[in-house]
């Protein structure tokens, strides 16, 4: 009979140990549930943050593309202004010299694509 009592006590101890382990795992699961929920919320927050950063990068990309386009447009306009300034400088040199053949009054008979203030070259003044 003593052997049965011993086995019974061992069985009770083992059962109590298993029940304690189940309780510990259950407590851990319930405690982890909050952590899991927190991790879920953290993942949602991180996803939102990443999405916001992606939008910011896309906005900056669009802004930089607009800046580059505007820079190209201004570069082209500056080139045209520089070319016009060079032509004006050459005209100014011609007007400031003694060569007054470049200037003629507006002439209704002059029908060409040149400015009406500049005499077109003729056989006489080609030298």
Residue 57 lies in a domain: yes
Query: For tokens 């953290």, what's the residue?
Result: 42
Residue 19 lies in a domain: yes
HEC per residue, 76-101:
HHHHHHHHHHHHHHHHHHHHHCCCHH
Domain count, the chain: 1
Q: Flag whether 117 is in a domain.
A: no
Structure confidence by residue, pLDDT tens digits, 11-67: 788 888 888 887 887 777 677 777 777 888 888 888 888 889 889 988 999 899 999
Domain limits at 66?
2-95
Q: Is residue 105 part of a domain?
A: no
Would 121 be classed as within a structural domain?
Answer: no
Q: What is the mean pLDDT of the chain?
A: 75
Q: Do the beta carbons of residue 106 and residue 116 sit within 8 Å?
A: yes
């Amino acid at each position: 009979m003593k052997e049965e009592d011993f086995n019974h006590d061992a069985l009770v101890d083992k059962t109590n140990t298993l029940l304690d382990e189940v309780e510990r795992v259950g407590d851990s699961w319930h405690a982890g549930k909050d952590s899991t929920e927190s991790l879920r919320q953290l993942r949602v927050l991180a996803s939102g943050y990443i999405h916001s950063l992606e939008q910011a990068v896309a906005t900056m990309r669009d802004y930089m593309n607009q800046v580059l386009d505007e820079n190209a447009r201004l570069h082209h306009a500056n080139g045209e202004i520089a070319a016009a300034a060079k032509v004006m400088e050459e005209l100014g040199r011609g007007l400031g010299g003694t060569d007054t053949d470049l200037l003629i009054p507006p002439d209704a008979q002059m029908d060409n694509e040149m400015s009406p203030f500049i005499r077109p070259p003729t056989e006489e003044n080609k030298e």
